[in-house]
Structure 1
Amino acid sequence: MNTTTQHQPAVDLATRVRQRRLALGLSRADAARRAGLSIAAIDRIESRPSAMTAGDLLRLVEALDTTVSDLVGTEPPEHPERGLGPIHPTLEGMARSECLTMLQTSDIGRIAYQAANQLTVVPVTFCLHEGLIVFRTAEDSTIAQYALESVAFQVDRIDDGMHEGWSVLVSGTVRPATDEEAAQVLELVEPWADGNRDTCMVIEPVQVSGRRLRTW
């Protein structure tokens, strides 16, 4: 099965999902609970569904008591087969513009950097602001001491059941945010970990690449 954006413009899919949810009298929290997704995922699907996988689509179809054809606006096949049929994953490269779009649909990624002569990988919440990746950390953390050091940053979304997903890899340098940058993005990034994490760091991308795994 292909992702839904190849059948109909994303805005149409977002509208159908929202209209169907409202017709059932469901809040976004209700829809998220019934579909086994997060409220943030429902919010993204209703505004930027390009990041939705086939697995998400099937969960939404069941949660909203509808059909794939009705939700994505396509006619059913002349001789529909029962079930999903065999999975045929295809790996595709992603253009830089598509990679940046995927980064905008996410709020958590992994940063890889050298610390004490070892490669360290940690998850961070982030936002993409004017082409820069911004995250918050503790003032005394190792990464907060870096200034124009080389790092790698990865964001992905994987659907194990459908063997489908995408991954974006950014190579660049990390530095403390300027006072102006910090003032603009401080409220846009909410760390999940507790403690004081008001030190804003910026990753300046040098290379951006990505791959998408689709099932047909």
Structure 2
Amino acid sequence: MTGEDDVHEYSGPRGRAQDQPTNPGDIGRRIAHRREQLGLSPERVASRSGAAVDYLEHLESRPAAVGLETIISLAGPLGTSVRYLLGGGPDLPPGQASPSVRPVMEELQPWECWAKMEPGGVGRVALSTPEGPRILPVNYRAPDGTVLYRTTAPSTAATAVGEHVAFEVDRLDEALGSGWSVLVTGLAHQVTEADAMEWFGKHADPQPRAGGRRDTRVRIRPGRITGRIIRTVETKPSDDAP
């Protein structure tokens, strides 16, 4: 996440600074990605849109507040929609963007998988229930080569205790058409708060976004971990790190 000092309203030659700029988000990255998909130079897009080349290069190189008029003028030459450039459709499932032109899929090494998971976040637990298989989102942490999440005692996520489960985490970069996924399989155990604090420390304790009392801590001891990454040939693997 960028700080306020990293977000600027550009006022260079022929750049359009409207009174109501849009959220900078990843607009610049989407512009660059789409331009490269079409094989267009910055000069060609700038000429077709009426924007200055240095203004376009500024948008592509760092977060900037962009006026809607500018986005509309760029959407046509880029053969895409304003909605795409704005990252529209936040309520839709990820993966709506067009795939990259030259995607490459690679297997991740176990240590790379753990590096992807280490920051924690939201993952999905897959388990069997009397009603059939279930997949549930949970907030998790991944301290010291294990997976830890919190839930409530009567919840479905708590029934994973004592069972072999799968745990999946992924990230999709809609702007660049890249992404990765990691899958952990192993046996789930319940641990006490005291044991969790002793083993992993307070910073490893997941903080569920759903709120409420979630005092059941479940630890998944991995039996196997695998992962894959999709990137473009122009992107180095390190650029896809979260």
* TM-score, shorter chain, exceeding 0.5: yes
- Alignment partner, residue 61 of structure 2: 61
Q: Which amino acid aligns with 2:155?
A: S
Greater strand share, structure number: 1
User: Do the aligned partners of residues 150 and 190 (structure 1) sit closer, same or farther apart at CA in structure 2, a change above 3 Å counting?
Assistant: same
Residue 130 of structure 1 and its aligned partner are, at CA, apart by 1.8
* Cα distance in 1 for residues equivalent to 2:25 and 2:232: 20
Residue 143 of structure 1 and its aligned partner are, at CA, apart by 3.3
* Cα distance in 1 for residues equivalent to 2:7 and 2:193: 47
- Alignment partner, residue 150 of structure 2: 136
Q: Which amino acid aligns with 2:111?
A: S
Q: Give the number of equivalent residue pairs.
A: 159
- The secondary structure found in structure 2 opposite 1:35 is coil
Q: Which of 1 and 2 has greater Rg?
A: 2
Map 1:14-163; keep pairs closer than 5 Å: 22=5, 33-35=23-25, 61-64=61-64, 87-163=101-177
- Alignment partner, residue 11 of structure 1: none
Tell me, which stretches of 5 or more residues in structure 1 are unaligned? Answer: 1-13, 27-32, 38-53, 66-81
- The secondary structure found in structure 1 opposite 2:115 is helix
Residue 158 of structure 1 and its aligned partner are, at CA, apart by 0.9
- Alignment partner, residue 166 of structure 1: 180
Q: Scaled by the length of structure 1, what TM-score is found? A: 0.62
- Alignment partner, residue 214 of structure 1: 231
Tell me, which stretches of 5 or more residues in structure 2 are unaligned? Answer: 10-22, 34-58, 66-76, 79-99, 234-242
Q: Scaled by the length of structure 2, what TM-score is found? A: 0.55
- Alignment partner, residue 37 of structure 2: none
* Cα distance in 2 for residues equivalent to 1:160 and 1:22: 25
Percent identical residues:
28
Residue 61 of structure 1 and its aligned partner are, at CA, apart by 3.1
- Alignment partner, residue 90 of structure 2: none
**Cα RMSD for the two superposed structures:** 3.4
* Cα distance in 2 for residues equivalent to 1:120 and 1:160: 27
